[in-house]
Amino acid sequence: MQLIAGSEFLAWAAAHGIARSVHWPNSEGLVFPHPADPPGVMYESWWGTWALPADRAAIPQFVRQLLAAAAPGQAVHVRPWRGWPTANDMADDPIFWPTEAADLVAGWELQPAGDAVVRFGAEEHQHVAQLLEVCLAESAFNHLDVIPLDGRLVLSTCHDREVHADFPTRAARDAFDEALRALGYRDAAEPTSGQGTA
């Protein structure tokens, strides 16, 4: 487990073609931006969303499949869109950051604060999985970006009971979807997807 300063992480992300949306400047999430896309395009490159299982008990398996497909055998970065909340944040708005999520973070060996990003080694994915499970199950409004060390995609939680992923190319998106299905992922409906103009 390693803490990385927010500015240092954003520089790393930029080197991998990852940055904030050029069309949605109020969003704190990271994407693979394509400045040539027309205004109003919500996600500027290949993307997809995957709905959470209706059965809450199935969310842990879903999360494990996501992580295994997104970052097989490699470290991942975890970045809350609006920073790591304080106790006051949680008291003011428990939906923003569930108490159970705060308890998990309190048990980590290092304590992130502000805009710090946490890098978890491949052997520490269980910590990431536990945090994702809680934030997805409780529809937390402080969305999380999860980005593997090779920068192949940006996985983001959403309070609308789904997970969003942004990719640099269609091939990368297809490879992720294929990996998910190879791990046993099945959904009643095909995941939605989109394409920018790049």
d(CA 53, CA 79): 24
What per-residue confidence (pLDDT) applies to 28? 87
What per-residue confidence (pLDDT) applies to 40? 53
With H, G, I as helix, E, B as strand and everything else as coil, classify residue 129: helix
What per-residue confidence (pLDDT) applies to 11? 96
What per-residue confidence (pLDDT) applies to 99? 83
- Over the chain (198 residues), what is each successive 10-residue block's mean pLDDT? 96 94 78 67 68 88 94 96 78 74 90 95 96 88 93 90 88 90 70 48
Q: Which residue range is the domain that position 77 belongs to?
A: 2-194
Give the residue ranges of DSSP H helices in the chain: 6-15, 59-70, 87-92, 99-106, 125-137, 170-182
What per-residue confidence (pLDDT) applies to 34? 67
Q: How many domains does the chain have?
A: 1
What per-residue confidence (pLDDT) applies to 61? 93
In 3D space, the residue among 171, 193, 158, 180 whose CA is nearest the CA of residue 70 turns out to be 180
d(CA 100, CA 106): 10
What per-residue confidence (pLDDT) applies to 198? 36
What per-residue confidence (pLDDT) applies to 54? 84
d(CA 23, CA 118): 27
Q: Which two tokens stand for residue 76?
A: 């991942």
What per-residue confidence (pLDDT) applies to 197? 36
What per-residue confidence (pLDDT) applies to 55? 87
